[in-house]
């Protein structure tokens, strides 16, 4: 039987979150939840917590509401005013880690002549070659089985996006997650070597964001994590979020839950509240 | 005190002799007081600096009986597949803060270089052991330290999964070369293909955590390694010191 904190119903979370942006006061800091366009209607509250696609986002939003009610902070929801002053805390699925780096995105477009005699077979062969080229590789680490992203979070990764056949050309696009080590030339070479490919173009979309917060903010967040979890580890967020759009260096991301989680229980909620409350309070007393 | 006659280099690190006892890594003293993380790896921190995966350096130094050295990270290239490099990039540290081997090995190049190096020995031969058995259990593992006679060295019986390995570690640097060769080729448990290889790798980790960080010269170690076993090995060393169960003896 669940004995954790009682969670609010999803509509109540959204209602409460919408009135906490601190327009009537001068908050010490701002909180925003990385929400990746989730559908609140897909999330339900059960005895085990929030469940469904977007459960983690709702859970972190609920945690933000609770934390902001207990501190002198503003919750920027649903339309964050990214120019608001003060340090920013971005809640993201970080499994209790801290983040100052969000990966970027790009798109790679590959063109190849279609085989007019055997179009299906030609496309199958082309796609097979491209998907093989897109697989993560590393000489020492088991990156192909790395479901938790222990290693692949630091690699340039590719996911098939579109396949179009128009006239005598096949066009294939891959979405790319980029790191500080991503080089357009290396991306082009990776796919250009596939048999049948005639042209490869790479287009960067969102750059890697690396914040450089003040020592005071960094210390506050690290201390909060050591207090609540016993350790303060840094990890990257493997996609751009609202974090990347907040101007200035005074921002850090934190939070519980993992990317894509279909559930977010009372324990993850309680830890997320504690991490955020402790971080905000430590920031308020930092010199 | 045992130090090197001249500097040596291994993967990711350069090791220089020192005039005073103790090992430092990137200026951080290698002792229990500096340990800021001990679970899947061991990190040291002091004075705003941090060194990552130190067991891959301290293990080889301990296996060759080196007790005085200044270790400096030498890596200049980012390898972002490594979580520790992502940590460093996030906090404005350079890649040289990570001194662990990139393939999860106990630095075979350093082990070989230390084996070939001349070692200078001087000063009193104080050796440390426990006064009574010390036990610790965490993360599904358990460990026991027991006293040994002066000069007996470190005896280890380590079990990982279905494999058990035993070893005698000589603090004077005279450990069996065949054992050192097996350890040099054994990857960290997270990457090991077999329990046997994981247990063999763990021997270097045990030397790092108990001999170098914990300071034990003569002790019998029986350990059933669980997950994230540095919590166990550093934990039992702390328990012995915090409980005043450690004694120094002169020869």
Q: What is the pLDDT of residue A2?
A: 52
Q: For residue A16, give the DSSP letter.
A: H
Of A256, A279, A252, A258, the closest CA to residue A269 belongs to A256
Asked whether the predicted pLDDT for residue A105 surpasses 50, the reply is yes
- In the predicted structure, residue A199 carries a pLDDT above the cut 70: yes
Residue A119 CB partners (closer than 8 Å, separation 6+)? A165
HSE-CB at A108 with a 13 A cutoff on CA atoms is: 28
Task: For residue A70, say if its preceding peptide bond is cis, omega within 30 degrees of 0.
Answer: no
- Which pLDDT value is given to residue A1? 47
Specify the range with the lowest mean pLDDT, choosing from A31-40, A193-202, A231-240, B56-65.
A31-40
CA nearest neighbour of B111 among B29, B190, B175: B175
| Of B64, B41, B51, residue with least CA distance to B189 | B41
Q: Measured between CB atoms, does B103 come within 8 Å of chain A? A: yes
pLDDT of residue B158: 98
pLDDT digits (tens, 9 = 90+) for A144-190: 989 889 999 999 999 999 999 988 899 999 999 999 999 999 999 99
pTM, two decimal places: 0.94
pLDDT in tens, A17-75: 998 877 656 677 999 999 877 898 999 999 899 999 999 999 999 999 999 999 989 99
How far apart (Å, rounded) are the C-alpha atoms in residues A186 and A200? Answer: 11
Do the domains B2-121 and B127-249 sit in the same CATH topology, yes or no?
Answer: no
Digit-coded pLDDT (tens) for A260-275: 889 999 999 999 999 9
Per-residue model confidence (pLDDT) at position A23: 64
Q: Which of A206, A148, A200 is nearest to A177 (CA)?
A: A206
Q: Which residues of A touch B80 (CB under 8 A)?
A: 154-155, 179-181
Residue ranges of chain B whose pLDDT lies below 50: none
User: Are A268 and A49 in contact, with CB atoms under 8 Å apart?
Assistant: yes
Per DSSP, the residues of B8-19 read EEETTEEEE--S
Q: Which CATH class is domain B2-121?
A: alpha beta
Chain A residues with CB-CB distance to B39 below 8 A: 231
Q: Does B87 touch chain A (CB under 8 A)?
A: yes
Contact B209, B136 (CB under 8 A): no
- Quick one: CA torsion of A113, A118, A122, A125, rounded to 10 degrees? -170
Q: How many CB pairs under 8 A join A and B?
A: 56
> How is the beta sheet containing A104-113 ordered, strand by strand?
A157-166, A169-178, A104-113, A199-206
Architecture of domain B127-249: 2-Layer Sandwich (3.30)
Domains along chain A with CATH numbers: 10-101+209-285 (3.40.630.10), 104-206 (3.30.70.60)
**Given an 8 Å threshold on Cβ–Cβ distance, is B191 in contact with A141?**
yes
pLDDT tens string B105-134: 999 999 999 999 999 998 778 999 999 999
Interface mutation target, options B39, B48, B89, chain A, most CBs of A under 10 Å = B89
Q: Which of A234, A243, A253 to mutate to test the interface with B (most CBs of B within 10 A)?
A: A234
Helices (H), B98-229: 108-116, 177-184, 195-206
Nearest Cα residue in chain A from B80: A154
Question: What was the pLDDT predicted at A3?
Answer: 59
Mean pLDDT of chain A: 92
For chain B, domain boundaries: 2-121, 127-249
Mutate to test the interface with A, among B83, B185, B187, B190 (most CBs of A within 10 A): B83
Between chains, do B80 and A179 touch, taking CB under 8 Å as contact?
yes
Residues B192, B175 contacting (CB under 8 angstroms): no
pLDDT-based confidence at A286, cuts 50/70/90?
low
Alpha carbon B64 to chain centroid distance?
11
pLDDT tens track for B34-54: 999 999 999 999 998 999 999
β-partners of residue A175 are: A107, A159
> Would you state the pLDDT for residue A20?
86
- Collect all residues of chain B within an 8 Å Cβ-Cβ radius of residue A231: 37, 39
- Residue from A16, A28, A129, A33 nearest A69 by CA: A16
């Amino acid at each position: 039987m669940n004995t954790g904190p009682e969670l609010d119903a999803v509509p109540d979370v959204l209602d409460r979150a919408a009135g906490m942006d601190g327009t009537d006061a001068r908050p010490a800091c701002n909180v925003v939840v990385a929400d990746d366009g989730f559908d609140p209607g897909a999330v339900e509250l059960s005895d085990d917590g929030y469940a469904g696609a977007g459960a983690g986002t709702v859970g972190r939003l609920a945690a933000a509401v609770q934390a902001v009610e207990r501190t002198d902070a503003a919750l920027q929801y649903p339309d964050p005013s990214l120019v608001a002053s003060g340090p920013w805390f971005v809640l993201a699925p970080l499994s209790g880690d801290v983040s100052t780096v969000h990966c970027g995105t790009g798109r790679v477009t590959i063109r190849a002549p279609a085989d007019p005699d055997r179009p299906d077979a030609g496309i199958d062969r082309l796609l097979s070659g491209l998907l093989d080229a897109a697989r993560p590789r590393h000489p020492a680490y088991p990156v192909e089985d790395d479901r938790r992203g222990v290693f692949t979070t630091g690699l340039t990764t590719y996911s098939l996006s579109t396949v179009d056949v128009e006239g005598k050309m096949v066009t294939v696009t891959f979405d790319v997650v980029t790191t500080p080590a991503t080089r357009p030339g290396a991306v082009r070479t990776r796919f250009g070597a596939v048999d049948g490919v005639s042209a490869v173009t790479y287009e960067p979309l969102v750059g890697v964001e690396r914040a450089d917060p003040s020592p005071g903010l960094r210390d506050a967040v690290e201390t909060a994590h050591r207090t609540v979890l016993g350790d303060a580890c840094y990890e990257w967020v493997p996609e751009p979020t609202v974090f990347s759009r907040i101007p200035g260096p005074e921002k850090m991301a934190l939070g519980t839950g993992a990317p894509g989680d279909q559930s977010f229980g009372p324990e993850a909620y309680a830890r997320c509240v504690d991490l955020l409350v402790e971080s905000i309070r430590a920031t308020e007393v930092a010199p | 005190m045992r130090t090197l006659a001249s500097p040596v280099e291994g993967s990711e690190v350069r090791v220089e002799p020192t005039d005073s006892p103790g090992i430092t890594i990137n200026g951080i003293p290698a002792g229990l007081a500096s340990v800021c993380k001990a679970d899947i790896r061991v990190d040291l921190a002091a004075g705003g600096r941090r060194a990552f995966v130190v067991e891959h350096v301290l293990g080889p130094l301990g296996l060759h009986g080196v007790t005085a050295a200044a270790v400096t990270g030498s890596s200049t290239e980012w390898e972002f597949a490594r979580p520790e490099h992502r940590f460093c990039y996030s906090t404005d540290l350079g890649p040289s803060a990570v001194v662990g081997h990139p393939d999860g090995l106990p630095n075979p190049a350093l082990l070989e270089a230390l084996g070939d190096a001349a070692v200078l020995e001087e000063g009193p031969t104080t050796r440390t052991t426990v006064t009574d058995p010390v036990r610790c259990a965490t993360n599904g593992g358990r460990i026991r330290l027991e006293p040994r006679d002066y000069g007996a060295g470190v005896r280890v019986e380590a079990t990982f999964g279905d494999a058990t390995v035993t070893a005698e570690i000589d603090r004077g640097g005279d450990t069996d070369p065949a054992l050192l060769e097996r350890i040099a080729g054994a990857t960290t448990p997270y990457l090991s293909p077999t329990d046997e290889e994981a247990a063999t790798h763990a021997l270097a980790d045990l030397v790092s955590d108990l001999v170098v960080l914990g300071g034990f010269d003569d002790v019998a170690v029986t350990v059933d390694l669980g997950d994230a076993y540095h919590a166990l090995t550093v934990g039992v060393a702390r328990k012995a010191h915090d409980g005043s169960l450690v004694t120094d003896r002169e020869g």
